[in-house]
Chains A and B, each alone.
Chain A
């Protein structure tokens, strides 16, 4: 599939703010055998006094910008064309939980894609006994394939939770969203990560885009009008990483376009910013993912 992606983010400050500084993580990745970034550009208004493109520890594309002049608004827009050739469904997975644990015990890798980064609790995915015990119930048996546990847990979260765009904010703890059984893709994803890590399965946060309008005859996916999030999980050395979207109860397919990976939202938030200003600020984002007819 070929997609044209438009992402726009509008920051409005109550009072003119000098010294604003933003870090953007919204450019889709090129992943061999999966998706290819054909072209991509970020434009910013006003023109930043300093702008650096680099990649972060996890290999995600980062644009760092600073504004020395005081401004009331910052408008960031991103255009990209991406070809998606495959999803991230599991290959025939063979590893069981005990086998996975053993494989993890022998890993000596701290590279950006090493499963080791995705085992410990992190900022938005602290260990939570409520989620951990709920996720482990009936799933910690020794004979089940890890990839089955992943899809089973994702399906269960989807069944249990109500998608509600107004119920939670970025800062709502996952445990609270789980307690109330509602939230958005970020909550679904964090809850699933906590559950998987509780089982000893390395898992992380995938940030990305979803095709805005479904192919004819198929329902529109939840979360298509903003940046989306789903889960990646490591299923052993043979299978490697798979990706599951608990919000839509599906493995990530060719409707999913990956922006980047992290331990949780903190690592791969689309925008992180800091300003020195007395007043508050508001931001608004819009996303369009349009299939390009061949």
Chain B
């Protein structure tokens, strides 16, 4: 690095690694033009101001719930390791990449079409038959099946890096169900926050247009009018589920699990609250082998039986086609240069990482002779190149593997590939208040659109944790991630998913609500309300303890029994039952994450976190009563967000019905247990307090609380949002607005059951509503759950 006199101070510690190019600085030490603006901007900020800006981005990610999760790991998720400084690429570079990767995509399409079609490449000896036959992603049930759209590949990701000569290399092709595009979007939002004020004048190409074009492609791939397009996810246990939910929300598409789908007469249908509805495009984030337990992996619980039949009959388009993962095999990289010559008559426009299949004698000898700069691993692995895995050997080090390299290569050569351990370019990371170069690779995304392949003007960059080793290996071991800015010389137009220049406003038809989603929303409503009810009861109990004589009063003793019947012990600071109920609510919400605003989600998580903290410190007594007060304010915060902000869709109705059913049952049970107590024992006050109706009661009735005033206010008054009658009305109204409430002039069994409850309540005088009537009322409302399940959720 040469010393430039007017070098910005933030580059003081920026010393380049030998032998590899840097993204920010040219070989002569001068700042690359595309970075100039960003460097100036950073240099112009005071150090504490810089940190403040960067923390805005980090705060956004935490609020949005972006964390690192690993499938099957119990440990709590880690903070998303975003390096605030983006990787900057000039637009011209990106156009060149787009052309090269489009060529590569067409080549991959030709290869996969051949592997599931004529098999000419194997027949003519360009690909070894054993590699294809032994590839677990070459799915025999799909051989001979042509995709309905005519194409196997629609959405691809490439892991790329810049080699020592300054050119780009493809490190791996992701053709199965590439992840990362949603994370790139989230990184973008975070970097916009970090660089607010600068971002809008930095000529950064926007991402929305890319996603809009791909969404149009998905909709265009529908097979019949009236059918839908959706996103297929393995579900919340998957480590990239967050991204699936995010993309679904961003594109406004249904997020579906295998269980939401059913095949009827060869057609793929979604099970919704309004019956089954046709769907003919699935952007799948689920690996092929899990897609259909009937014809692929029988152990799959994530798939849809009969899906392959629907694919075979041409009624559904899978994006990408099932079986497209065959191209992800590492060994494919050894043959693509040759296949490019064979199929297109041209060399690869962008080379991939040098790879040798050890089944060939000359290749094996080469790998053996150069083992010190090779990564050797399973030929048919779909792990990314250089990603360590069992059975792999780095730089000839056989100490983990055991045995002798030459013997291993000659006995198992057909199942092994060698890959050159490439060194990759560095990009600035922000560490300890200064910029420092870190080796990086970028995942870029290519989508088939009406106008041909289109490269997302951005990407998902990974930076190595240290700078000792600039090989791609250290990057895969993971350090941080970064946004990628593609900058133009000229200003770029503003763009979001919400606006579309020149298009008139159309209100979209209300979306379909899958039965599973409705089920989760219903139970979310019930669990949140149940937790709130338990908190109110526990607070009422704990706040009465200090004034009670030793051994308690009849009321506190009864309350103890009442709480115990609901799983709440009275020697706890924060009752276990409350925590468990909230955990069930979070779990239900997690299954329908695509249907919540970020704020509602954050508030529910905040509640769970607060509970976890309080659990360690809160002790029974007044402390617990106060803690319940805090939790109640938090839980009503979530309810408020849901009820103020959530669109009145069928989904909201199920949530509301769940909440009302739970609240009505709880009130009927409370009154049955305590409303018959005489005034001096405190039963009335308890009911009015737990029913949050102290003020109302005082205002409505000039007399002191009596059995009849309490029953009137908390059971029969249709205007009190805590009364049974109010919630029966609410259930009745919402059920009336659900699909199928009235069919051919006949009300559904569910509607009929509610009307019966409602009529009975409306005709009752307070004195008639005795203990037995209340017990019966609670039970009748509880039974509505069965009717709802039978009609909508089964």
Interface of A toward B, CB cutoff 8 Å: 19, 21, 23, 49-50, 52, 56-58, 64, 66, 68, 104, 107-110, 114, 116-117, 119-120, 123, 266, 272-274, 276
Contact = CB atoms under 8 A, between A and B. Distances in A.
Contact of B133 (A52, A66, A110, A272): A110
14 contacts: A21-B294, A50-B265, A56-B141, A58-B140, A64-B306, A66-B264, A108-B124, A108-B125, A109-B122, A109-B129, A110-B129, A116-B132, A117-B140, A119-B134
Contacts of B143: 57
B119 interface: yes
B140 to A, nearest CB: 4
A276 B515 CA distance: 14
Contacts of A49: 265
B309 interface: yes
B465 interface: no
A120 B134 contact: yes
Contact of B309 (A64, A116, A266): A64
Given A23-B295, A120-B133, A108 B264 contact: no
B141 A117 contact: no
A114 B305 CA distance: 29
B40 to A, nearest CB: 58
A105 to B, nearest CB: 8
B133 A117 contact: yes
Interface in B247-284: 259, 262-266
Given A266-B298, A274-B294, A19 B141 contact: no
Given A21-B294, A52-B309, A114 B266 contact: no
Contacts of B122: 108-110
Given A23-B295, A57-B140, 9 more contacts: A50-B266, A52-B309, A108-B125, A110-B122, A110-B129, A123-B297, A266-B298, A272-B295, A272-B298
Interface size class of B (residues with CB under 8 A): 20 to 34
Contact of A57 (B125, B141, B259): B141
B331 to A, nearest CB: 13
A274 B264 CA distance: 14
A119 B141 contact: no
A214 to B, nearest CB: 35
Interface string B124-163: 1100011011100000110100000000000000000000
Contacts of A117: 133, 140
A273 B305 CA distance: 8
Q: Which 9 A-B pairs have the closest CB atoms?
A: A274-B305, A120-B134, A57-B140, A116-B133, A116-B129, A21-B305, A110-B119, A117-B133, A21-B306
Nearest to B305: A274
Nearest to B127: A108
B129 A114 contact: yes
A123 B133 CA distance: 14
B81 interface: no
Given A50-B266, A108-B124, A108-B125, A274 B133 contact: no
A66 B140 contact: no
Interface string B551-565: 000000000000000
Interface in B422-456: none
Contacts of B133: 110, 114, 116-117, 119-120
Contact of B263 (A57, A58, A66, A120): A66
Nearest to B309: A64
Contacts of B263: 21, 66
Nearest to B141: A57
Nearest to B144: A57
Contacts of A119: 130, 133-134
B115 to A, nearest CB: 9
A119 B380 CA distance: 14
B132 A110 contact: yes
Of B264, B294, B295, B297, which is in contact with the most chain A CB atoms at under 10 Å from its CB? Answer: B294
Nearest to A109: B129
A194 to B, nearest CB: 15
Contacts of A104: 130
Interface string B92-124: 000000000000000000000000000100111
B293 interface: yes
A3 to B, nearest CB: 30
A117 B131 CA distance: 10
B328 to A, nearest CB: 17
B419 to A, nearest CB: 21
A116 B131 CA distance: 9
B625 to A, nearest CB: 42
Given A19-B262, A110-B119, A114-B129, A274 B141 contact: no
A19 B122 CA distance: 40
A123 B282 CA distance: 27
A274 B265 contact: no
Contacts of B294: 21, 23, 272-274
A21 B292 CA distance: 11
